[in-house]
Amino acid sequence: MASLVLASASPRRLELLRRIGIEPDLIAPMEIDETPRAGELPRNLAARLAGEKCAAAAKRFPECHVLAADTVVACGRRVLGKAQDAEEARRFLTLLSGRRHRVWGGISVRAPDGRRASRTVLTHVAFKRLEAREIESYLACGEWRDKAGAYGIQGRAGAFVRTITGSYPNVVGLALYEARSLLAGLGYPAP
């Protein structure tokens, strides 16, 4: 049976893990309600969602190590999820233009013996002031789809970033140092 389950459908998380030599045996996205609770802070949302995904996967695959993660982009206390359409993506990018925002990464790991560990990682990202034509060009390329905050730092939106403080892989989708450390701490033979 599989020894590591990645409870995520994100191709970026899988690619990041492969970069450090970790190959999940099974990809098993967990469908949970990702709606923020009333008054829930972005950090707490990232931690809760990762924990719920991990718990759901652990029920299905109790004999495996399980790794789950979630990424929350926040401008102040406002959570910028995955834009539903180009208009919402335009609003998100306009809000982020010329400002600093936070990317919270929640990571949760469960071992076959039931032990759990989790971490929340913060990265600060500052965007340059975006011109309307830059936003429209980015929307037209479609890269914003299925990405928290309506941008992918690893693609064209990387040109919008003035500064980044913290973990770059966290913004892409998974803080690698922390993920590897949590797995190793719970007995997974991470390279």
Which residues are marked as active site? 70
Query: Whole-angstrom Cα distance, residue 145 to residue 49?
Result: 20
Residue with tokens 């965007």, as numbered in its chain: 127
**Do residues 108 and 65 touch, judged by C-beta distance below 8 A?**
no
Q: Are strands 78-80 and 26-27 parallel, antiparallel or unpaired?
A: unpaired
Q: Dihedral sign, CA of 159, 13, 22, 122?
A: positive
**Do residues 94 and 80 touch, judged by C-beta distance below 8 A?**
no
Q: Residue 188 CA to chain centroid, in angstroms?
A: 21
Encoded amino acid at 93, one letter: L
DSSP readout, 163-177?
Answer: EEES-HHHHHT--HH
Query: Whole-angstrom Cα distance, residue 163 to residue 92?
Result: 18
Q: Are strands 116-127 and 100-110 parallel, antiparallel or unpaired?
A: antiparallel
